[in-house]
């Protein structure tokens, strides 16, 4: 008897919350056409939030603010504080006297459950924010809250989460540059965010908008930007700047810039709470990283695929995984880390394996993972360690190389881990994971989800001809593409820089010597001609300062640096050797201080010539022929002599040499690294801006190599510089069409020199005609017009500066440029002083390009050289001209202007009978000691502690505004009195010491 039909079983395909990023944003019809004031913009914004179920309490004082916070925390935690309990909890767990932005951010991101000591001696956990069920949190909006610090400030709009201000919004009327909103938040931090109980230091995310354009950024972007300015670090933008603000977008990467659309999406309750609780990473450097929309979409698509395929019982097959195409430089490591972290927390998942293909990626990815979460990534150095970690239930995220994982599989044909539920994430999956190892690993792990991240996928058009024909493309190996963010998207969003390419003609070869007409080996032999090698090295040396912007100075990781550095990609080991030898030959007569610091690294490439545009090199020198190994050994000894290290070509020491060279490239301690294939993929160094290329490049290999240069760093670094000694124009266009779109060239590559220079000529003509040199600019409207015009000229000069053709075609003389720059800085000081004085703001539509002036900073050495000329010319009649030149140079320098009286006093006192340098050092030391003692006396500071504090500040490059060091120098006073004198005193002393530091830093 046959069985009847079985009852149907219904199972959910996927269980998930609402997506954080809207799939497709459609603007509402009927946009506002009438003029909208800032007040009207704010009113409409709040109405929209109220419609989205935000409460809108009236809070006008700090007492009301704190009472509201108490009520919200009581509601969230189902508790009623006694007055004594609340006072203790608020003082010790929320508003500690020594807590700053970093400590308060850590409390929200890492330690959001605080312990309350109750009156009866028991303890209770108190959540500041509910991260498990986000809808338990209350959202309120307040506006025009007034805080009294150094002066009264009235804040536009603040979002309270359970009573704590976690998001702050600063608005400007339509048509005003939103950078002014960014600058205004800076002013609030200086003046009042710290005031009272310092609750506004809990703000995690800032939003700035002029109605038309809206961006967001983290508190540490703002705090770091201020610290650089306060600590004399403002000589150029670093990663703590407006350049690191982000656009919001939908899942198709369409930016949502209008405030109304931004409010409907970003400020949707579930979206905002997801961002605050899931999509922020507080790294080990104590920087808060707020993920960008495309990163959030990718992480959620991976999570969704894991849940869906698990529910459908589709583990271990293509439908269980997929790949993410996010262009190189867009933050794939952060995205993959967050995806791994969220996958680890899924109850069904036993382990997350993060698999990399090369030891350089292993090293770099390990460092990145450790930066995001200390101890989260258990890297391993051997198969035995990997086995222990695979068997350890507490090792939930494991980083390993595909080679180690393959060896483990080969040795352990039967192992319990193969039956566990694992997520496998491949970093840079365009590499060799398509081989037999990939197939073996995915066959052995039976219950797996396989995901790949790549900036340059393998399509049919750029696939090699070797290996398994069923695994040649990324889609064949990993499954569906889950999300795409191309180089065109990233450049449009200003998350990476565009490229500028110079094709430099070298010695003319015979007409038949082209890659297409003769075998490649013959071409390369012709291209290795000694005279061509010498010519290229000569070109690099001659143009190095120009291309790497050595005249520009900026702060990076607490150090002052000048310009950027570079990679030199060569076609073969033989070419790398010849170039290295030629650099040594051309520089041998130069003193060490004037030589470029050149490093060399290469190793054996087992699969060279198999069609891969960038063949992989092994990480050992053992496979090299003896001559190449001996040459490399000698180059490493040169490196050891340069840096005081002790590396060689033996296995472990060679790997350590790679790591050390990598670190020095990142820190800009090395000028040129000559490579064959190493460092051309997977290597990130923000200080690197130039690739010298004498190498055939194509497809994903070309874009990977180019992308070493286009990481965002500061306003001086406006593009990645490619100097190619081969004609790669067609290959470049083909690669951009493949990985961007057919129209990508106009977005990804800078315009030709002639277009920029034509625009520059027109602006300079307008400047000279409207504002003749030496004449005052009268009236606010004229001053604003000059500021905008000169700012446009500064931005263009910054782009033009590394074009060879610009030398001698600057149009403006150095004298006139200094005069205009002095006037620009005078107006900057006047407008800022007016704002500080709290007059009606006259500068809400003025943005100064001070960073672009600081990059060509006139330094003390130049001034002392002029002083020497002044002494020699005394009594000859030209001394007055030189004295005027000194004054003009100081006036045109943002950093020396605050030291003008010192320089003038020195010029008046200097003697021709002793060395000017020695007199200057003694003069500065005496003035520095005198002014510090005055501050100590005026503020009643602890003398010895203050001198030590200042000495450490000059050693470290800035005045520390947080931590206990500043507290130790203050005179004794209560930290919790009603008037908060401690906070006011601390801020006053910090301001005075910061001004003192700025005045004397870098003078001697």
Q: How crowded is residue 898: how many other Cβ atoms within 10 Å of its Cβ?
A: 16
Per-residue b/e over 385-395, b at no fewer than 16 CB within 10 Å?
ebbebbeeeeb
Is the pLDDT score of 889 beyond 50? yes
Strand-pairing partners, residue 691, are: 567, 722
> Considering only 100-109, 174-183, 675-684, 741-750, which range has the smallest mean pLDDT?
741-750
Mean pLDDT of 695-722: 90
Give CA 903 to chain center in angstroms.
36
Q: In terms of pLDDT, which residue wins out, 451 or 193?
A: 451
Mean pLDDT of 139-162: 88
Question: Over pLDDT 90: what percentage of the chain?
Answer: 42
Give CA 2 to chain center in angstroms.
68
Residue written as token pair 């500080």? 836
* 90 confidence band (pLDDT: 50, 70, 90): very high
Measured at the CA of 19, the angle between CA 16 and CA 21, to 5 degrees, comes to 165
- pLDDT digits 0-9 by tens, 833-848: 665 554 444 455 677 7
* 744 DSSP 8-state letter: T
- pLDDT digits 0-9 by tens, 718-742: 899 999 999 898 999 899 888 887 7
Q: In terms of pLDDT, which residue wins out, 470 or 751?
A: 751
Is the pLDDT score of 306 beyond 90? yes
Quote the pLDDT of residue 799.
Answer: 86
Quote the pLDDT of residue 9.
Answer: 40
In this structure, what is the dihedral angle of CA atoms 682, 683, 688, 690, given to the nearest 10 degrees? -50
* 333 confidence band (pLDDT: 50, 70, 90): confident
Distance CA 666, CA 287 (A): 19
Mean pLDDT of 658-664: 92
* 54 confidence band (pLDDT: 50, 70, 90): very high
Strand-pairing partners, residue 207, are: 169, 216
Quote the pLDDT of residue 265.
Answer: 96
Residue 763, H or E segment: helix 753-770
Is the pLDDT score of 617 beyond 90? no
pTM for the whole structure: 0.81
Q: In terms of pLDDT, which residue wins out, 307 or 37?
A: 307
Residue written as token pair 């690099």? 540
Residue 165, H or E segment: strand 164-171
Quote the pLDDT of residue 351.
Answer: 93
Q: In terms of pLDDT, which residue wins out, 863 or 55?
A: 55
- Helix/strand/coil (H, E, C) string of 198-234? CHHHHCCEEEEECCCCEEEEEHHHHHHHHHHHHCCCC
Mean pLDDT of 237-242: 51
- pLDDT digits 0-9 by tens, 801-819: 878 888 889 999 888 888 8
Quote the pLDDT of residue 15.
Answer: 39
Is the pLDDT score of 375 beyond 80? no
- pLDDT digits 0-9 by tens, 956-1000: 777 876 667 788 888 876 555 555 567 778 888 888 898 898 888
Is the pLDDT score of 326 beyond 90? yes
Taking the alpha carbons of 710, 713, 718, 724 in that order, is the dihedral positive or negative? Answer: negative
Quote the pLDDT of residue 69.
Answer: 97
User: What are the backbone dihedrals phi and psi of residue 666, each rounded to the nearest 5 degrees, phi first?
Assistant: -65, -35
Q: What is the mean pLDDT of the chain?
A: 83
Mean pLDDT of 131-158: 89
- pLDDT digits 0-9 by tens, 254-268: 999 999 999 999 999
SS3 label, residue 672: strand
Quote the pLDDT of residue 377.
Answer: 60
- pLDDT digits 0-9 by tens, 498-509: 999 988 877 554
Quote the pLDDT of residue 304.
Answer: 95
């Amino acid at each position: 008897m046959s069985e009847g039909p079985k009852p149907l079983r219904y199972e959910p395909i996927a269980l998930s919350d609402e997506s954080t990023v809207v799939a497709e944003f459609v603007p509402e019809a009927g946009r506002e056409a009438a003029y909208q004031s800032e007040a009207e913009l704010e009113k409409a914004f709040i109405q929209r939030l109220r419609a989205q179920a935000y409460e809108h309490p009236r809070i006008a004082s700090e007492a009301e603010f704190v009472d509201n916070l108490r009520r919200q925390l009581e509601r969230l935690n189902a508790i009623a504080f006694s007055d004594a309990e609340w006072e203790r909890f608020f003082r010790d767990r929320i508003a500690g006297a020594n807590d700053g932005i970093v400590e308060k951010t850590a409390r929200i991101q890492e330690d959001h459950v605080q312990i309350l000591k109750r009156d009866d001696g028991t303890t209770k956990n108190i959540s500041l924010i509910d991260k498990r069920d986000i809808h338990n949190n209350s959202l309120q909006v307040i506006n025009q809250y007034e805080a009294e610090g150094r002066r009264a400030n009235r804040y536009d709009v603040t979002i309270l989460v359970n009573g704590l201000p976690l998001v702050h919004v600063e608005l400007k009327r339509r048509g005003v540059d939103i950078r002014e909103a960014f600058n205004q938040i800076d002013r609030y931090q200086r003046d009042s965010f710290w005031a009272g109980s310092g609750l506004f230091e809990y703000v995690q995310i800032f939003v700035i908008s002029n109605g038309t354009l809206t961006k967001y950024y983290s508190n540490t972007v703002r705090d770091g930007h201020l610290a650089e300015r306060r600590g004399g670090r403002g000589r150029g933008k670093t990663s703590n700047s407006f350049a690191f603000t982000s656009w919001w977008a939908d899942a198709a990467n369409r930016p949502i810039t209008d405030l109304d659309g931004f409010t409907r999406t970003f400020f949707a309750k579930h979206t905002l709470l997801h961002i605050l609780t899931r999509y922020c990473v507080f790294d080990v450097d104590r920087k808060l990283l707020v993920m960008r929309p495309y990163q959030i979409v990718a992480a959620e698509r991976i999570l969704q695929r894991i849940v869906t395929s698990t529910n459908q019982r589709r583990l271990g097959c293509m439908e269980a995984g997929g790949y993410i195409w996010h262009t190189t430089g867009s933050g794939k490591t952060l995205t993959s880390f967050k995806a791994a972290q969220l996958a680890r927390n899924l109850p069904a998942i036993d382990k997350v394996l993060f698999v990399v293909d090369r030891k350089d990626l292993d090293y770099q990815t390990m460092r990145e993972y450790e930066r995001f979460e200390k101890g989260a990534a258990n890297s391993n150095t051997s198969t035995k360690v990997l086995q222990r970690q695979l068997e350890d239930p507490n090792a939930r995220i494991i980083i390993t190389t595909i080679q180690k994982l393959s060896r483990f599989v080969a040795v352990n044909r039967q192992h319990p881990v193969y039956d566990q539920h694992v997520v496998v994430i491949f970093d840079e999956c365009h590499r060799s994971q398509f081989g037999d190892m990939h197939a073996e690993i995915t066959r052995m792990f039976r219950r797996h989800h396989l995901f790949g991240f790549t900036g340059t996928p393998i399509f049919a058009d750029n696939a090699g001809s070797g290996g398994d024909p069923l695994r040649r493309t990324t889609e064949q190996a990993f499954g569906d593409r889950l999300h795409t963010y191309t180089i065109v998207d990233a450049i449009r969003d200003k998350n990476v820089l565009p490229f500028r390419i110079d094709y430099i003609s070298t010695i003319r070869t015979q007409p038949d010597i082209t890659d297409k007409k003769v075998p490649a080996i013959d071409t390369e032999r012709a291209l290795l001609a000694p005279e061509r090698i010498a010519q290229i090295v000569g070109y690099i040396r001659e143009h190095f300062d120009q291309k790497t912007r050595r005249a520009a100075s900026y702060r990076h990781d607490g150090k002052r640096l000048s310009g950027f550095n570079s990679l030199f990609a060569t076609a073969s080991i033989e070419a790398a050797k010849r170039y290295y030898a030629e650099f040594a030959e051309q520089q041998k007569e130069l003193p060490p201080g004037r030589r470029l610091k050149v490093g060399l690294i290469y190793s054996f490439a087992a699969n060279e010539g198999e069609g891969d545009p960038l063949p992989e090199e092994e990480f050992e020198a053992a496979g090299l022929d003896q001559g190449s190994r001996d040459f490399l050994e000698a180059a490493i000894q040169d490196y050891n002599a340069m840096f005081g290290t002790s590396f060689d070509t033996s296995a472990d020491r060679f790997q350590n040499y790679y790591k050390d060279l990598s670190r020095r490239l990142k820190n800009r301690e090395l000028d040129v690294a000559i490579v064959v294939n190493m460092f051309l993929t997977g290597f990130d160094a923000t200080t690197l801006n130039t690739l010298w290329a004498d190498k055939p490049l194509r497809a994903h290999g070309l874009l990977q190599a180019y992308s070493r240069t286009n990481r965002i760093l500061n306003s001086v670094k406006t593009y990645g510089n490619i100097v190619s000694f081969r004609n790669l124009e067609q290959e470049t266009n083909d690669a951009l069409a493949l990985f961007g779109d057919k129209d990508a060239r106009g977005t990804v590559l800078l315009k030709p020199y002639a277009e920029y220079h034509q625009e520059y000529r027109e602006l300079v003509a307008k400047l000279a005609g409207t504002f003749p040199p030496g004449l005052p600019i009268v009236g606010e409207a004229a001053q604003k017009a000059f500021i905008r015009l000169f700012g446009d000229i500064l931005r263009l000069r910054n782009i033009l500066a590394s074009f060879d053709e610009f030398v001698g075609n600057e149009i403006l003389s150095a004298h006139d440029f200094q005069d205009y720059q002095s006037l620009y800085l005078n107006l900057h000081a006047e407008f800022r002083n007016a704002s500080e004085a709290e007059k009606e703001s006259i500068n809400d539509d003025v943005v100064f390009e001070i960073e672009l002036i600081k990059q060509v900073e006139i330094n003390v050495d130049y001034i002392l050289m002029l002083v020497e000329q002044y002494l020699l010319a005394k009594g000859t009649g030209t001394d007055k001209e030189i004295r005027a030149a000194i004054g003009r140079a100081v006036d045109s320098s943002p950093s020396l202007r605050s030291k003008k009286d010192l320089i003038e006093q020195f010029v008046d006192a200097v003697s021709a009978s002793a060395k000017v340098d020695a007199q200057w050092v003694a003069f500065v030391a005496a003035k520095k000691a005198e002014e510090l003692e005055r501050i100590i006396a005026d503020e009643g500071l602890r003398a010895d502690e203050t001198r030590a504090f200042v000495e450490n500040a000059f050693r470290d490059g800035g005045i520390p505004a947080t931590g206990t060091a500043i507290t130790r120098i203050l005179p004794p006073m209560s930290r919790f009195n009603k008037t908060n004198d401690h906070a006011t005193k601390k801020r006053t002393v910090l301001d005075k010491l910061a001004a003192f530091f700025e005045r004397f830093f870098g003078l001697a």
